[in-house]
Amino acid sequence: MRSYDAIVVGGGHNGLTCAAYMAKAGAKVCVLEQRTFVGGASVTREVFPGHKVSVAAYWMSMLQPKIMRDLELRRRGVEPIPTPPTLHPFADGRSVVFWPDRARVQDELAQFSQKDAEAYAAYDDHMTRIVAALRPMLFETPVDPTDLSLRGLRRTLKLAWRNRRALPHFYDLWDLLTLSAWDYLHRWFESDEIRTIFASYASGSAGILSPKSPGSAYVLARPYLRDNSTDQGPGGLIRGGMGAITQALREAGEAYGATVLTGRTVRRVIIEKGTVQGVELEDGSRIDAPVVVSNAGAKATYRDLLGKDHVAPEILAQIDRHRTGSIAFKINLSTRALPRWTAFDERQLNVAGPGGITLAENSDELEDAFQSAMNGEMAPRPYLWITTPSAFDDSVAPEGRHVVQIMGGHVPYALNGREWDADTRQELVDIVLSQICRYAPGFDEDVLDAQVLTPKDIESMFSMIDGHVHHGEMSLDQIFFRRPIAHYADYRTPVKGVYMCGAACHPGGGVNGVPGHNAAREVLADMGRKFPAQPY
Ligand SMILES: Cc1cc2nc3c(=O)[nH]c(=O)nc-3n(C[C@H](O)[C@H](O)[C@H](O)COP(=O)(O)OP(=O)(O)OC[C@H]3O[C@@H](n4cnc5c(N)ncnc54)[C@H](O)[C@@H]3O)c2cc1C
């Protein structure tokens, strides 16, 4: 029987990141992935013949430069494509293009409000400043503020001291975590269009959230979380799709000596007399290791991999309360042409096309869409965020074909009185195409094939409970020292030797790699091994 120092359950980008750091530190690590390929929700697959599709995650906005550098991901094939600016069109033909140059963005915003255009500089500075102060917190292991032992107090004080730069921003951060995106933006902007552009991201970013939900303001910080000015380059589309990131992570892990096995579903962690022995696979075989690190979500880790024999009922009750509901969906298309955005084409901007397109007409439509999903219906006018990678990367579609990837908000996990079947999935495609055709007439005639992922499909395809793309809502009650649950946010679980390393842990979801990085640091510390990289 094979035996390792540690087993990582799941080959998502966080599991692979965690394994790579542990292997680099000299630990004998094995990654067990249930699917026949690694990557979790950061994968490129041939969904349509000859097309390379980023089936789930499709825009690299958060992969941290530190991790790219530590694991040499650029050298291993992660290549962000210089992507033209994003477009937000309106049905009346006006549009905003988000140029890299702030003054140009201000010119764009001035068509709605001169005052807002001027306020944009203050908003952008504010977000840049507070997020820069916040960024080091991503790489912290959350403390337990209720731990009043000398060790616990010392840890809490040390963390506060290390992050003292963030302290002057405390009240701003508090607002960011408690206010709605809509109210937060109100400080700077008066125009409904401008607030809609910025706040709409809260509609489709994950979870059950509307721009007017208290706590949704934090979403406004997400585009600022990655420092795009480093030697690792900016975010954006990745050449060959998001699978390039997880292939590079796998390559890094294997180069450092990790074993990666696919098609291996872990059924449970074997614990005998309170000591971890390894894992049992779905086929009944076992692999031994004294340490198990789970890349699965919190509910799957606590309920299925550990179970009630090893976790106290009150802890399982906390896990059951972990909010994982979602109204986000994804549609991937093969088309014979790119959408022709009226508001973009008419301006003759001399760029290859918009790098991304967000569609949200106004705050009323967004609220109605949210209510539709809450009522178990598909919203007739959902929020959409569209990318067209084949416009900038000729490796992802055959000659004469295009890949169009659409993330949307506003469909329920369970439809009211109906199932998600071929008919209802087609209904969703029709809704999405009709929404796109408001801004790009005739696009529906160019669509050749569609892949539809409802929240239910996201759950079954990626084992993301309830279809939550971040393994659980990112709200004040579920972040930092409460992610995934109070007292167990330091990547450890109630079972000694069992850890978590996925998006259910601080700092949460998105292809950022940080939960994997931080978990590896904690596991290695407990093993008495040195973390093989500089601190952040
Ligand atoms: C539709 C969609 C669109 C998204 N768009 C973006 C985007 O554009 N940009 C972005 O940054 N983020 C995006 N995200 C979010 C991002 O993909 C996730 O937050 C991220 O993938 C989480 O990474 P992870 O490694 O923690 O978990 P996952 O990617 O969920 O990986 C977990 C892995 O564990 C495996 N596993 C689970 N249980 C077992 C078991 N028992 N045995 C063996 N293996 C197991 C799973 O098969 C999976 O491979 C999107 C997600 C979705 C679903």
User: Do 30 and 4 form a contact (C-beta atoms < 8 A)?
Assistant: yes
- Report which protein residue has its CA nearest ligand 1's atom 29: 40
- The rounded Å distance from CA 457 to ligand 1 centre is 13
Mutate which of 14, 21, 403, 463 for ligand 1 pocket (most atoms within 8 A of beta carbon): 463
Could you give all domains of the chain from N- to C-terminal order, each with its CATH number?
6-45+63-78+236-322+471-527 (3.50.50.60), 84-233+327-412+414-453 (3.90.660)
Query: Mind giving me the DSSP string for 131-188?
Result: HHHHHHHHTSPPP-TT--SHHHHHHHHHHHHHTGGGGGGHHHHHHHHHS-HHHHHHTT
Backbone angles phi, psi at 514, to 5 degrees: -70, -40
What pLDDT is stored for residue 283 in this prediction?
97
User: Do 469 and 285 form a contact (C-beta atoms < 8 A)?
Assistant: no
Distance separating alpha carbons of residues 478 and 490, to the nearest angstrom:
13
Beta bridge mates, 402: 335
Instruction: Give the three-class secondary structure for 4.
Output: coil
- Containing 102, the helix (H) or strand (E) segment is helix 102-109
CB atoms within 10 A of CB 36: 8
How is the beta sheet containing 402-408 ordered, strand by strand? 95-98, 86-89, 357-359, 384-387, 402-408, 329-335, 447-453
* H-only helix segments in 387-453: 422-437
Query: Mind giving me the DSSP string for 174-206?
Result: HHHHHS-HHHHHHTT---HHHHHHHHTHHHHSS
- The rounded Å distance from CA 90 to ligand 1 centre is 32
- Write down how long the chain is: 536
Mutate which of 34, 303, 332, 428 for ligand 1 pocket (most atoms within 8 A of beta carbon): 34
pLDDT digits (tens, 9 = 90+) for 57-76: 999 999 999 999 999 999 99
- The rounded Å distance from CA 346 to ligand 1 centre is 39
Joined together, the tokens standing for residue 41 give 């929700």
Mutate which of 245, 413, 462 for ligand 1 pocket (most atoms within 8 A of beta carbon): 462
- Report which protein residue has its CA nearest ligand 1's atom 32: 12
Tens-binned pLDDT, residue by residue, of the chain (536 aa): 569 999 999 999 999 999 999 999 999 999 999 999 999 999 999 999 999 999 999 999 999 999 999 999 999 999 999 889 999 999 999 999 999 999 999 999 999 999 999 999 999 999 999 999 999 999 999 999 999 999 999 999 999 999 998 989 999 999 999 999 999 999 999 999 999 999 998 886 678 999 999 999 999 999 999 999 999 999 999 999 999 999 999 999 999 999 999 999 999 999 999 999 999 999 999 999 999 999 999 999 999 999 999 999 999 999 999 999 999 999 999 999 999 999 988 888 888 889 999 999 999 999 999 999 999 999 999 999 999 999 999 999 999 999 999 999 999 999 999 999 999 999 999 999 999 999 999 999 999 999 999 999 999 999 999 999 999 999 889 999 999 999 999 999 999 999 999 999 999 999 999 999 999 999 999 999 999 999 99
- The rounded Å distance from CA 138 to ligand 1 centre is 19
Q: Which of 484, 466, 461, 465 is nearest to 474 (CA)?
A: 484
Residues contacting residue 293 through CB under 8 Å, at least 6 positions apart: 6, 7, 8, 9, 15, 18, 498, 499, 500, 501, 519, 523
What pLDDT is stored for residue 2 in this prediction?
65
pLDDT digits (tens, 9 = 90+) for 267-306: 999 999 999 999 999 999 999 999 999 999 999 999 999 9
- The rounded Å distance from CA 454 to ligand 1 centre is 15
- The rounded Å distance from CA 329 to ligand 1 centre is 14
* Residue at token pair 């959230």: 209
Closest ligand 1 atom to Cα of 467: 53
- Report which protein residue has its CA nearest ligand 1's atom 48: 40
Joined together, the tokens standing for residue 482 give 């409460």
Distance separating alpha carbons of residues 175 and 188, to the nearest angstrom:
14
- Report which protein residue has its CA nearest ligand 1's atom 4: 57
The gap between the terminal CA atoms of the chain, to the nearest Å, is 38
Which residues approach ligand 1 with their CB closer than 6 A? 9-15, 32-35, 40-42, 56-59, 61-62, 265-266, 295-296, 300, 330, 407, 453, 458, 462-464, 469-470, 502-503, 509-511
Instruction: Give the three-class secondary structure for 9.
Output: strand
Distance separating alpha carbons of residues 379 and 370, to the nearest angstrom:
7
Distance separating alpha carbons of residues 427 and 418, to the nearest angstrom:
12
